[in-house]
Structure 1
Amino acid sequence: MILKGQGSGPLPPLLQQYVELRDAYPDYLLLFQVGDFYEAFGEDAERLSRALGITLTHKTSKDFTTPMAGIPIRSADSHLERLLKMGFRVGLAEQTEPVEAAEGLVRREVTQLLTPGTLTRENLLRPDANYLAAIATGEGYGVVFLEVSTGEFRGVVLYSKSALYDELFRNRPAEVLLAPELYANEAFREEFQRRFPLMVSSGSFDPQGARSALVQQFGMLPSGLDHPALERAAGAVLAYARTTQAGALPQVRGFARYDPSAYMQLSETTLRTLEVYDPSPVGSYLPVGEERTLMGVLGLTRTAPGRRLLKAWLRQPLLDEGPIQARLDAVEALVRDSVLREAVRRLLYRIHDLERLAARLAAGRSNARDLAALARSLGLLPELQGQLLACEPLRVLAERLPLLAEVVERISAALVEEPPLKITEGGLIKDGFDATLDAHRERAEAGRSWIAGLEAAERSRTGIPSLKVGYNQVMGYYLEVTRPYYAQVPSDWRIVATLKDRQRYTRPDLREKEREILLAEEAGRKREYEVFQELREELSGQAERVREAALVLAELDVYATLAEVAARHGYTRPRFSPDRLFIRAGRHPVVERHLEGRFIANDLEMGPEARLLILTGPNMSGKSTYLRQTALIALLGQIGSFVPAEEAVLPIFDRIYTRIGAADDIAGGRSTFMVEMEELAQILQGATARSLVLLDEIGRGTSTYDGLSLAWAASEYLHDRIKALTLFATHYFELTALPETLPAARNYHVAAREEVGGLVFYHQVLPGPASKSYGLEVARLAGLPPEVLGRAGQLLAGLEARRDDWSQALAEELLALDLTRLTPLEALLKLQQLRERLYPVMVSEAAD
């Protein structure tokens, strides 16, 4: 690195040290500890100043001047969080020796490399999973997710770009590595970053290097990595993470290959539409708040691992009834026993993030506060296990829970109750734990006792009543005498400082005693650090058992959370049927929370005899809510949760598809109609008879009759070919004729009524088609000018009259046919002609 600045002389030693460290990490913004600040110099200082809006100053020496900017170490976490969110990689170069022990320039080393996907610092981590992902190609896409802070390491092979995007959206990585063939593809990279605005870079995806990284990590090539793209991605993600973690990832103990088809498949579109994580169907990829989402309703977990597990369950609902029922048994037990539920949740609230504590323990990065938190948390497990053993559905969790009493005893014996954050400055280890440490402390205490007695002894000996013994870091211990008593100062005292009205002195025995104290204290700190390291190393062998405890507690936390939600909001346990969907008094779990008891519950029944439901009614009447609540009830049931209904009988769906709402992709050159048609195509190509399909307003982005034709044909295809359970909300009243030709189609409508004060919505779903669309009434409620509404009424009347005239003519033509004279072929041809004229009905122009 050439440091930006003015002057031609040699760099000062501190800047030379900065340049050498900066050159070793060219992709990182280097923050360099200077006392109580992290400083940056040259171009990095300018970048830091612009990013954080902080003052840019200059570092000036005799022959050189360069820009400088810095942040206080005490408030560094908030600044680092902002930098990472902006896409910076940050390196921290810290002082690795005390200033007073340095011979010349203080030694500094890069101790941490921070990137969005490889964080382990507790203060910078979200409670949610923080994935680093890698993607490679070769007979599909190999996708790997690594959670450095917990050690989770898993991957999947996908065979389409849409499946790739869906999987990334479900897992939401913080950072992605793209193989060179993808990173160099400008069109792919631009599309990718438009959909996923996160840090994207190219890693080392060399096949030989990838295999070497995997063997180095595990001692052999793990099973499941028999696909070239997956192997490249797995090796690349390990190699990248290892560079940020001082070359070691001991918390990563295995690789798991998973299959998305083993769970209900939820696409990005479905997750957005149902507002599972984001508060709006067109919300950002990045989290923007959960208040009005399904996760916001369910998110009452008491532990961070529990929250992460709940999110994982939501993105992977189960397909086998047995495991679903086992989860429901556990939830029901906690719903019924409110005392047990409250006791469990109270204990869980006091437990720290054991999963991440286990990872730091395995990696040798635990500080004393981590170990103290570990001991406090593990100390609660016997009581928790006792609670669970009394409940049969939860007994299996109790039996899986390792208690780790020996870990609690060891930490409690070694550490003080409230240890300091830093582990190199003493104050960590209890007296009596280590004989060598105790000896150092005793020597230091003996010296301090001698000095404590010195003040009284010297007052008595010299007759100076104002004599004091003091200490500061510059001059150490000293004797202080005020001006009136200067003449009484013994001749063997040496002046070290003169103040306005007093002088400070030292003497050889005081200096010697001070040296003894300092040596004993330094030896004590050194031994204390050694003892702590030995303790940490001893406990690292228990990291996997701690992680097992974390996983059990996470599962218990989710059960208790789902039970709490069910008890608070009146949810019921669903039952399952292979071919029946029945919901009595179903509710939308999110909407009802924001209507304060004013939500109108609705029924639904579907099955082999009624698998296509055509739902009509005015805008704002609740059609979309009805569709969404059906899907959310199905999703909740398949994660093992109670559901917002008085009664629910559900099929086990393999997929939930949604085509709801209007959205475009202007940057990608896709209109609203194109997006709609692409979503419809995915449904028609991917849905099965075991799927749940939700459609809202198909065909609205093109001409009326093009749209009607597409909606009609799609309905027939879903009914006749796919046979999926389908709810179709529409304003095309022509579609209400579908039940006349499709035996498993049914009409329903959302009730509304025109009254003197305007249009009244009842939000009640009833059998039969709606009587009219109420479009002009809704427009009036929206505030359209009266002139526009009046003209619209005239045009509507003219169009309806023309349609009525046409219908009358068609009816007369039909009645005039002499069916006795038509051959079967002629009859079929005539019927085809009439049908082509009927759907779509072509109107050439509006009435004047």
Structure 2
Amino acid sequence: MAKKEATPMMVQYQKIKDQYPDAFLFYRLGDFYELFNEDAIKGSQLLELTLTNRSRNAAHPVPMCGVPHKAAQNYIDILVDQGYKVAICEQMEDPRLTKGMVKREVIQLVTPGTQVDVGSQNAKTNNYLTAVVYEADQRAFGFAYADLSTGELKVAKLTDQAELVNELVSLQTKETVVDGQLPATYQEVIKKLGILISHQSALPVNASVSYLSQDVDNELLKRVVKLLLDYIQTTQKRSLQHLKRAVVYEPSDFLELDHNSQYNLELTRNIRTGKKSGTLLWLLDQTKTAMGGRKLKQWIERPLVNRSKILSRHDAVEVLLDHYYERSQLQDELIKVYDLERLAGRIAFGSVNGRDLIQLKTSLQQVPKVKYILEQIADDSFEKMLKNLVPLDDIVDEIQRSIVDQPPISVTDGGVIKDGFNKQLDQYRDASNNGQKWLTELEAKERRVTGINNLKVGFNHVFGYYIEVTKVNLDKVPDNRYQRKQTLANAERFSTPELKEKEALILEAQEQSKTLEYKLFVQIRDQIKKSIKRIQALADAIATIDVLQSFASVSEEYRFVRPKLAKDHQVDVVEGRHPVVEKVLGHQQYVPNDVKMGNDTSILLITGPNMSGKSTYMRQMALSVIMNQMGCFIPAKKAQLPIFDKIFTRIGAADDLISGQSTFMVEMKEANDAIENATPNSLILFDEIGRGTATYDGMALAQAIIEYVHNNIGAKTLFSTHYHELTSLDNSLKHLQNVHVGATESNGELVFLHKIQPGPADKSYGIHVAKLAGLPNGVLSRAAHILSGLEKKANQMAEKPTSTSEQPVTKHHRPNQEEQISLFPLEQVDDNQAEVVSQLRNLDLMSKTPMQIMNQVYKWQQKINRE
């Protein structure tokens, strides 16, 4: 739009828009928020709005679209959920009282990381805003995160890029704030994770930042906390009184789980669906409050390593488990507790309404009941929680005295404050109510005087109060008193001097009543705001109690037991189970297994056929460790576990598309991560290391990794493999033990026992598994014939004398492709079958899902049947 054509309003709009070039500007215009120019074009597409034009007859009409201000939140949420920012620009003056342009300014910038209206579907999920700074001299990152809806604020020093990526992914942050000094290479890494990067320049230090960072004594950490708070203050432009003082944490304060391990173990997100269902969180979540649900997720992602804290949680779970009646009472009270953390946030923001205060009152009324129940059964493990369960009777009394039991949503339209709370308000209401009574009496009187039975007294916001007479009765209107006010199609509206006088009194009373009522509500809100820290301490205690009762309930329902904490590094799990798989399959269908690793055993080498349960066995061990160190009981008949410091997993086959890395490269990087960072107190799960490359390469790598872990690390390691040649390592590695998943043949059919047994598996049963997958009989017969020949060839080569220049061939020798083809020519097989056999020979079953295998088998059947 050419500047000479710009109206004063559009000049004002553009000036504000220039301050927020990366955000949609919601520009308040009367009862609508309008979007203009590029915002309107893009916004109309994203929000499915009608695109129109302003000044359509001008040479350069302005694209525009709009949304009603009362429905704006839904549209804002849609944009922010898609990764955009929204600047909310409000009218700062009453247009009726202003000459010329109404003053407008942005009152809030809503961004993916600062969104606080999360909706009920995300009530148990945190929305973290993160910040990153880099100190080149230290080669370290300052990292901070906050949840604006709950007030949580944490900060840590991270030593490398891997730690940074792990924290960003684990927190599932949508937005990261950076300063001008973060190298572009690290910004690119963050962008590749799908995280929005926001830039923030430094602001002058203020009292709020100083207060919130007073417990931080490291300059790098102070710097990143200030960066985060500067961005929050810049975007929110309102009170942040509910933010808690920054807490410094070390990743080593908790059981370290990188994001790959969290993903592979499906702790909070299902690998296939990305949802909560089918995860450990899904299984353990019997919390009754939103804040309890959030704390449970935090405990799952950050299990403890402190022995006394773990024991304290175990003690509390045991007490609750042993007191079923009191636990049931506790659950009944917790259900009535609303989200105190986010209520405190809304109070601080000034966005709380009457219904929120009633929820606060209802929640606080449960506190004495919760405290009484716990006092009947509590031991030392509940001491801190009981200390923070302080009933806030003063707040309850204030809300009870002032707010009606069923207030409207709006706090500006009246009807929120109780009668009798304020004398002046009662007077205004009395005047308004008496006025309404007078109007009713006036209508009855005028009907009698005029003889017009359908005469009525009404009101609208444009013309005020009026007397309406239908046109057929106009001849009965007394000309000396009635003054014409408005003409309608079928009626005329009139006023009288008496009605005008009463109208002024009624409207003044109503307006004064609303104004005073809102003022009183703000005073009540500000009074409660002084108690935000008390409310937050109470919320934390209730959330902790809620998680512990959830642990007790789940432990009772699924027969979990309290594990003993070993002082050495022994693992002794009797009849352990994978809790999620067991829930899906049912208790009767699941086969439990022991995990026994004494001080003299660091590696279990696990062999057995595909689909027999090796991966499940490994995962259930990791989940038992995590559940134990969260403070929960574990799925077993009896268990003794050490406290692990880290868990590393290499499970499943997946490409890293973001980095452009193949399955095998991902496999090697995850293996390297474990080798470089594991300690003797770590747990390592390696599933089929080496399968992504040629047989001998893979076998050599697998053996070298096993030897390195055994000789140099000593971590407890579960290593599953199809390389049966590796089972001979128990002869040279004294801390390695062979186990296998049992399977047997019955009438030519493979039967999985799903039971871990000592010693190596006697065979791989690959052809039997292919039969279970549905491969055609012709293919299976051909494969069996090839296998027989290969085994015969291997035996012959093993018996053949070797010269000094020849390498001995073991009985496990696997001929390469050329040897296979020369041994077993396909002249007797038709072309289609030959092609199927060739494809079968090269099929990597371990990299395929069951559905992919079924689809491939179907294609082979179709190919063979065509003959």
Which has the higher mean CA deviation after the structures are superposed, 100-109 or 697-706? 100-109
- Once the two structures are superposed, residues 589-619 of structure 1 have per-residue CA deviations (whole angstroms, 9 ceiling, x without a partner) of 1111211331211112111122211111001
Superposition deviation, residue 134 in structure 1: 0.8
1:825: which partner in 2?
A: none
- Does the CA-based 8 Å contact 1:437-1:527 persist in structure 2? yes
Distance 1:137 1:741, change over 3 A: same
Distance 1:53 1:789, change over 3 A: farther
After TM superposition, list the pairs within 5 Å mapping 1:34-53 onto structure 2: 34-53=29-48
Superposition deviation, residue 352 in structure 1: 1.1
2:443: which partner in 1?
A: 455
2:579: which partner in 1?
A: 589
- Once the two structures are superposed, residues 736-778 of structure 1 have per-residue CA deviations (whole angstroms, 9 ceiling, x without a partner) of 1122222222111111123336322121111121110111221
1:433: which partner in 2?
A: 421
1:199: which partner in 2?
A: 196
2:281: which partner in 1?
A: 295
- Once the two structures are superposed, residues 300-355 of structure 1 have per-residue CA deviations (whole angstroms, 9 ceiling, x without a partner) of 22112111111111122111222111111111222222222222122212211101
1:408: which partner in 2?
A: 396
- Once the two structures are superposed, residues 9-37 of structure 1 have per-residue CA deviations (whole angstroms, 9 ceiling, x without a partner) of 64455544433432332221012344554
Provide the secondary structure at the position in 2 that maps to 1:127: coil
- Does the CA-based 8 Å contact 1:77-1:123 persist in structure 2? no
1:660: which partner in 2?
A: 651
- Once the two structures are superposed, residues 568-596 of structure 1 have per-residue CA deviations (whole angstroms, 9 ceiling, x without a partner) of 21211111112221111111111112113
Determine which of 607, 623, 645 is the counterpart of 2:598. Answer: 607
Determine which of 356, 361, 366 is the counterpart of 2:342. Answer: 356
Provide the secondary structure at the position in 2 that maps to 1:537: helix
Provide the secondary structure at the position in 2 that maps to 1:182: coil
Which has the higher mean CA deviation after the structures are superposed, 492-501 or 772-781? 492-501
Superposition deviation, residue 406 in structure 1: 0.7
Q: Does 1:535 align with 2:524?
A: yes
- Does the CA-based 8 Å contact 2:153-2:243 persist in structure 1? yes
Which has the higher mean CA deviation after the structures are superposed, 432-441 or 478-487? 478-487
- Does the CA-based 8 Å contact 2:212-2:244 persist in structure 1? no
Superposition deviation, residue 238 in structure 1: 0.9
Instruction: Kindly provide the amino acid, as one letter, of the partner of residue 292 in structure 2.
Output: G
Which has the higher mean CA deviation after the structures are superposed, 396-405 or 132-141? 396-405
After TM superposition, list the pairs within 5 Å mapping 1:643-722 onto structure 2: 643-722=634-713
Which has the higher mean CA deviation after the structures are superposed, 143-152 or 457-466? 457-466
Alpha-carbon distance in 1 for matches of 2:66, 2:812: 69
Superposition deviation, residue 540 in structure 1: 1.1
Determine which of 113, 125, 128 is the counterpart of 1:128. Answer: 125
2:182: which partner in 1?
A: 182
Superposition deviation, residue 55 in structure 1: 2.7
Provide the secondary structure at the position in 2 that maps to 1:656: strand
Alpha-carbon distance in 2 for matches of 1:122, 1:618: 46
How many pairs are equivalent? 810
Instruction: Kindly provide the amino acid, as one letter, of the partner of residue 245 in structure 2.
Output: G
Which has the higher mean CA deviation after the structures are superposed, 32-41 or 101-110? 101-110
Which has the higher mean CA deviation after the structures are superposed, 520-529 or 777-786? 777-786
Instruction: Kindly provide the amino acid, as one letter, of the partner of residue 464 in structure 2.
Output: G
1:218: which partner in 2?
A: 210
Distance 1:41 1:166, change over 3 A: same
Determine which of 768, 771, 776 is the counterpart of 1:780. Answer: 771
Distance 1:807 1:253, change over 3 A: same
Length-normalised TM-score, structure 1: 0.90
Alpha-carbon distance in 1 for matches of 2:461, 2:194: 50
Superposition deviation, residue 711 in structure 1: 1.4
- Compute the RMSD of aligned alpha carbons: 2.6
Instruction: Kindly provide the amino acid, as one letter, of the partner of residue 369 in structure 1.
Output: R
Provide the secondary structure at the position in 1 that maps to 2:18: helix
Alpha-carbon distance in 2 for matches of 1:610, 1:463: 106
Alpha-carbon distance in 1 for matches of 2:174, 2:713: 38
Instruction: Kindly provide the amino acid, as one letter, of the partner of residue 488 in structure 1.
Output: K
Provide the secondary structure at the position in 2 that maps to 1:307: helix
Instruction: Kindly provide the amino acid, as one letter, of the partner of residue 414 in structure 1.
Output: S
1:242: which partner in 2?
A: 233
Alpha-carbon distance in 2 for matches of 1:220, 1:580: 43
1:392: which partner in 2?
A: 378
- Does the CA-based 8 Å contact 1:32-1:38 persist in structure 2? yes
Superposition deviation, residue 100 in structure 1: 5.9
Alpha-carbon distance in 2 for matches of 1:276, 1:532: 44
After TM superposition, list the pairs within 5 Å mapping 1:631-650 onto structure 2: 631-650=622-641
- Does the CA-based 8 Å contact 1:589-1:629 persist in structure 2? yes
Q: Does 1:60 align with 2:60?
A: no
- Does the CA-based 8 Å contact 1:93-1:108 persist in structure 2? yes
Q: Does 1:555 align with 2:551?
A: no
Q: Does 1:513 align with 2:502?
A: yes
Alpha-carbon distance in 1 for matches of 2:683, 2:213: 40
Provide the secondary structure at the position in 2 that maps to 1:548: helix
1:269: which partner in 2?
A: 260
1:846: which partner in 2?
A: 819
- Once the two structures are superposed, residues 108-137 of structure 1 have per-residue CA deviations (whole angstroms, 9 ceiling, x without a partner) of 543332101112235496531111101111
Alpha-carbon distance in 2 for matches of 1:618, 1:842: 18
- Once the two structures are superposed, residues 51-93 of structure 1 have per-residue CA deviations (whole angstroms, 9 ceiling, x without a partner) of 2333322233664632222334454444322211221101223
- Does the CA-based 8 Å contact 1:183-1:189 persist in structure 2? yes
- Does the CA-based 8 Å contact 1:654-1:690 persist in structure 2? yes
Alpha-carbon distance in 2 for matches of 1:288, 1:15: 45
Alpha-carbon distance in 1 for matches of 2:559, 2:236: 47
- Does the CA-based 8 Å contact 1:362-1:541 persist in structure 2? no
Determine which of 737, 743, 746 is the counterpart of 1:746. Answer: 737
Determine which of 100, 105, 111 is the counterpart of 2:107. Answer: 111
- Does the CA-based 8 Å contact 1:719-1:744 persist in structure 2? yes
Superposition deviation, residue 395 in structure 1: 4.8
Which has the higher mean CA deviation after the structures are superposed, 170-179 or 323-332? 170-179
Which has the higher mean CA deviation after the structures are superposed, 469-478 or 834-843? 834-843
Provide the secondary structure at the position in 2 that maps to 1:699: coil
- Name the % identity: 38
Alpha-carbon distance in 1 for matches of 2:3, 2:236: 38
Distance 1:786 1:122, change over 3 A: closer
Alpha-carbon distance in 1 for matches of 2:183, 2:338: 39
Alpha-carbon distance in 2 for matches of 1:299, 1:666: 32
Alpha-carbon distance in 1 for matches of 2:211, 2:283: 44
1:151: which partner in 2?
A: 151
Provide the secondary structure at the position in 2 that maps to 1:538: helix
Provide the secondary structure at the position in 1 that maps to 2:409: coil
- Does the CA-based 8 Å contact 1:303-1:353 persist in structure 2? yes
Superposition deviation, residue 781 in structure 1: 2.3
Provide the secondary structure at the position in 2 that maps to 1:481: strand
**Runs of 5+ consecutive residues of structure 1 not aligned to the other structure:** 814-829
Superposition deviation, residue 104 in structure 1: 6.7
Superposition deviation, residue 638 in structure 1: 0.6
Superposition deviation, residue 95 in structure 1: 4.6
Alpha-carbon distance in 1 for matches of 2:758, 2:807: 27
Alpha-carbon distance in 1 for matches of 2:597, 2:721: 18
- Does the CA-based 8 Å contact 1:753-1:760 persist in structure 2? yes
Distance 1:777 1:54, change over 3 A: farther
Instruction: Kindly provide the amino acid, as one letter, of the partner of residue 193 in structure 1.
Output: K
Instruction: Kindly provide the amino acid, as one letter, of the partner of residue 137 in structure 1.
Output: Y
Superposition deviation, residue 469 in structure 1: 1.5
Alpha-carbon distance in 1 for matches of 2:320, 2:369: 17
Q: Does 1:487 align with 2:482?
A: no
Alpha-carbon distance in 1 for matches of 2:714, 2:561: 28
After TM superposition, list the pairs within 5 Å mapping 1:302-321 onto structure 2: 302-321=288-307
Instruction: Kindly provide the amino acid, as one letter, of the partner of residue 400 in structure 1.
Output: N
Superposition deviation, residue 184 in structure 1: 2.8
